[in-house]
Amino acid sequence: MNPGSWIMRYPAVTTTIVVGLCGLVLQLSGNAATAAWLVGGYALLIAAWQAVAMVRNLRRGNFGLDVLAVTAITATVFVGDYWAAMIVALMVTSGAALEDYASARAHREVTALLERAPRFARRGDEHGQFREVPIFAVVIGDLLMVRPGEVVPVDGLLEQDAAAFDESSLTGEPLPVEHCVGDQILSGSVSQQRVAYLRATVSAEDSQYQQIINLVKAAAASKSPMVRLADRYAVPFTLVSLLIASAAWWLSGEPVRFAEVLVVATPCPLLIAAPVAFLAGMGRAAATGVIVKSGAVLETLARVRTIAFDKTGTITHGQPAVGMIQPADGVSADHLLRVAAAAESCSTHVLATTIVQAASHQQLSLPDATNVEETTAAGMAATIEDKLTAVGNAGHVAAITGHHPTTTAVPPGNIAIYVGNTDQYLGRILLTDQVRDNAKLTLGALHRLGVATVAMLTGDAATTANHIAGQLGIDDVRAGLLPADKVAAVSSLTERPVAMVGDGVNDAPVLAAADVGIAMGAKGATAASESADVVIMLDDLSRVATSIAVAQRTVRVALEAIWLGIAISVVLMLIAVTGLLPAILGATLQEVVDLVAIGMALRAARPGRSEKGLARQLRHSDRPELQRDCTEQSQPIS
């Protein structure tokens, strides 16, 4: 910031410094009386200004700590210690500048995030030329070019060649991530080493990075709850300070002692240090892909005693996967899968897509399927290798082929897809919504962080829910719930505060009903994100534990800063009682106390030892591989 803009932004500080310098010149030139009138009068004006603000706050029901500063300035002027009054006045007027500086330091991760927001994109035209256009001019389907070192402007699919991207601003992962042709690339990633071509899949305002920026801006604009927390300390601190100052006056019989005590009782550690800690914590959370929408949420999150999870898409991946292939006698697993995939390739059902993808992953060649017919809620029928073949539920296969599938019970949490033809029953494929690899580690970490109860609220059947809960050690399982039932369940949980974690649009009501709603927002569940208090922008369950660890450290650091400031101030007050601490020296030392408290608060911008240990424990195989073998052939760009 240049001097001119600094003067315009902080005129009270500038005026105080100018008046102080003028007073010093008058003092050194032998005009001590004039200097005293100038400095003392200006200090009283500052006290009056603060008093007016204090009265306004009281009318709004907010008891502040300004009374100490006003009393200290007034007392030092009336006992003739004008320069001590001037130092207190400088401290009062410079509070905003000091808070701005500390806040900027605390929030620099967020500031960097906002500054990196792309404003332009290189869009291809019908002649194959790429021209720079405003980012909000990009529409779905546009071909974009991203040069090395440039930020991906909007979400899109990678075309032509494999490429590496720095995704640290989204995931916190410091190493470049290799992506293959057809992979989804999120805006905010930075292209590495080579030019990348992407086909836009969403508009700029709906892109991942813009969502993060919007949430961060809203969070940065929120008021910190530590203002309220500071108010809880304000009344007793003020009363104790006035009591010590009055006792010093009464014991010594000298009114100057009253002033000497109060100049070291100024409240900046409460007014500045705690909000700075919260800004630092929110900024660090944002840098790891976790957006906390307000300081009040961060404070509540630190005290959470119960966490309830939705199952599908939260504890599980939310996408079915082939868990087991069980061929009949004399049938190979590959043959069973390729026949099933041949029939299912003609269906758009999510379970059909899963089977086709599994066959593709195994690089199986599929036979032709003709005369294909699909029966809703039953399955497929087709002629494959000159045989009438059926894929679907057991009754459908028996009705089409005349062969009855095995009656072996389906394991909990699985769906069976049966396959047969007119010659024989071929076997079945078990599909399951797999539990996230890091789910058990995450739930264990939550218990270590002080969460007493982990619950699961799901609309699934009780057998499936209990099976998963048994795997993970979940304390409270409630199954077969509709959205309204989930809201009632959250309200009935007794150990509070309660956090609810979900990812789908149908989770929006329960996220809003919980004390803290946490949305797994990586899949673009807009309604859930809007109703949630915390949005995890990544498809990573472990960030739930990370967010709580960040919140707990933030609150702990804020309280340490408060108590350190109070403790040092009380010690200085007790020294001032003895008369060993002149008012001007005490006022100077109080400035040092402010800086120490703010320095303590800025520690929230860095992870503590326990957080680092938690991060090591939560390393998991669920994260995307950093290096991938992209075997796809290069594709022409069209």
Q: What does the alpha-carbon distance between residue 299 and residue 84 come to, in Å, rounded to a whole number? A: 37
Q: Judge whether 403 and 424 are in contact, CB under 8 Å.
A: yes
Q: What does the alpha-carbon distance between residue 187 and residue 456 come to, in Å, rounded to a whole number? A: 33
Q: Which helix (H) or strand (E) holds 316?
A: strand 316-327
* HEC profile of 15-56: HHHHHHHHHHHHHHCCCHHHHHHHHHHHHHHHHHHHHHHHHH
Q: Judge whether 12 and 90 are in contact, CB under 8 Å.
A: no
Catalytic residue among 310, 460, 515, 533: 310
**CA–CA–CA angle 421, 425, 429 (5° rounding):** 100
Concerning whether 310 is annotated as a catalytic residue, the answer is: yes
Q: What does the alpha-carbon distance between residue 497 and residue 329 come to, in Å, rounded to a whole number? A: 55
Q: Judge whether 586 and 84 are in contact, CB under 8 Å.
A: yes
Beta-strand ranges (E) seen in 187-244 are 190-192, 196-200
Q: Judge whether 436 and 622 are in contact, CB under 8 Å.
A: yes
Residue given tokens 């089409």 in the structure block: 400
Beta-strand ranges (E) seen in 116-188 are 120-124, 130-134, 143-146, 156-159, 163-166, 177-179, 184-185
Give how far Cα 449 sits from Cα of 210, 538, 550, Å: 32, 21, 11
Q: What does the alpha-carbon distance between residue 67 and residue 245 come to, in Å, rounded to a whole number? A: 14
Backbone angles phi, psi at 385, to 5 degrees: 55, 45
Give residue 124's identity as a one-letter amino acid code: G
- Within the chain, how many helices (H) and strands (E) appear? 25, 22
Tell me the torsion sign for CA atoms 587, 592, 595, 596. Answer: negative
Q: What does the alpha-carbon distance between residue 195 and residue 183 come to, in Å, rounded to a whole number? A: 16
Strands 516-520, 498-502: pairing kind: parallel
Show Cβ contacts of residue 262 under 8 Å, excluding neighbours closer than 6 positions: 68, 71, 72, 75, 76, 241, 242, 245
Residues assigned a catalytic role? 310
